[in-house]
Amino acid sequence: MRAVLATTRPADWLLVTILLLLAWFEIWVEPIFQTGMPGPRLPLTLLAFVALTPLLARKAYPLAALTLICLGMVAVGVVGDDDQSTFVLLLGLLVATYSVAAHATSRNALIGAGVVVLAAVAFESVTFVDKALADVVVPVLFLAGVWVVGREVHRQRQSAREAAAHSELLARTHQLETDAAVAAERTRIARELHDVVAHAISVMGVQAGAARRTLAPGQTEQSEALLDVERLGREALEEMRRMLGVLRTDEVDHEIGPQPSLAQLPALAADARRAGLGVTLDAEADSDLPVGLQLTVYRIVQEALTNVRKHAQAGSVHIGICRLGPDLEVTVEDDGQGATGDPDPGNGLFGMRERVALHQGTLYAGPGDDKGFLVRALLPIED
């Protein structure tokens, strides 16, 4: 009971208070609506209280509230005089009928409609007076009308809840797909960096071995140090191969091959031209940049060109690569329709962001200066 009262809205308290005051005024002072509620005052006062206070629980327990109101009305008809209008109680019954239709399940709403019909028949049978047809038809129409309105409100709320649940499911699905795309791209980056780093470590080991063989017989400490370098290099390679084994899949094994660099950009642009794009390549960067940075630049340009072919409906694309202070600037701009607002971050953009973040750089992907779509990355160049 405390839980019901705690969740009751102030509007329901106000409604019950007004109806009770009107009912008690009719009982103790004079009728307000037609004949009012004539009969023994004290019992009718208590019955009015019993019939109207259940409205406080009309949302939490709509069927129970409606049933109590109906019983209270029938009891008023039995205890009071035959000439009963009980218009105030009828107002409470209208509210309870709407509540059971709007807040109860379909089964309970139908039960509530049956309870109202039975209560109306019982009330009319115990308060038989000469009434016009309109005196019977009008309340019935009002009760039927509020029940239909309540069911429509219930349907609209149910539809809104289902739509919200569907939207939440779509959002969760999209988040899972996003997380999977990010994880897949990070795995791909890890595989590619493994190849780059493994090559560097191998070269270090070979050079250490070559240097060791040039030492004089008496340079024992230097020879042992270079042996340690060779040993640590082999151990590092073995650990990296073991780590890569966790990341590899059947699909990945087919992708094994030399990692691309800036030297492969002209071939990439030529492929795009054969696909129908007018590609201009303006690459001013030196080819002696770190291998990992070259790989990142290649992948950014590759993914940007893929997005142009898929989404931009562009005729030409300009690719620019140049030094900008301590950074390397990479731009890919097309002359398509561009984007309105923030672009939908597909898997390609996720991949670019992951690669740029690996170098502590910045990435912009959005509308270009004039029109079209612009991808601009600033990648710090490590000295």
Residues 6+ apart with CB under 8 A from 261: 287, 291, 294, 295, 298
Together in a domain, 266 and 242: no
Together in a domain, 243 and 284: no
Domain end, chosen from 116, 131, 146, is at 131
Domain end, chosen from 236, 253, 270, is at 253
Residue 351: pLDDT band (50, 70, 90) is confident
Name the residue with higher pLDDT: 253 or 93: 93
Domain end, chosen from 253, 284, 300, is at 253
Together in a domain, 245 and 279: no
pLDDT at site 137: 79
How high is the mean pLDDT of the chain?
Answer: 82
pLDDT greater than 60 at residue 149: yes
Together in a domain, 126 and 25: yes
Q: In terms of Cα–Cα distance, which of 319, 294, 322 is closest to 308?
A: 319
**Pair of tokens at residue 144:** 């039927």
pLDDT at site 213: 79
147 within domain boundaries: no
Helix ranges restricted to H, 275-318: 291-307
Lowest mean pLDDT among 98-107, 138-147, 252-261, 311-320: 252-261
Together in a domain, 127 and 17: yes
Together in a domain, 369 and 293: yes
Residue 247: pLDDT band (50, 70, 90) is low
Per the structure, the count of domains in the chain is 3
Together in a domain, 123 and 185: no
80 within domain boundaries: yes
State how far Cα 191 lies from the chain centre: 32
Under 8 Å between Cβ of 109 and 158: no
pLDDT tens-place string over residues 155-208:
999 999 999 999 999 999 888 888 887 777 777 777 776 666 766 777 777 787
pLDDT greater than 70 at residue 292: yes
Together in a domain, 219 and 304: no
pLDDT tens-place string over residues 210-229:
887 788 887 888 888 878 87
Together in a domain, 274 and 241: no
278-283 and 316-324 beta bridge pairing: parallel
Together in a domain, 315 and 220: no
Domain of residue 363 covers: 262-380
Together in a domain, 244 and 300: no
Q: What distance in Å separates the CA atoms of residue 289 and residue 277, rounded to the nearest whole number?
A: 28
Q: Average pLDDT in the 131-148 region?
A: 81
Residue 51: pLDDT band (50, 70, 90) is very high
Together in a domain, 59 and 104: yes
37 within domain boundaries: yes
The whole model's pTM is what?
A: 0.56
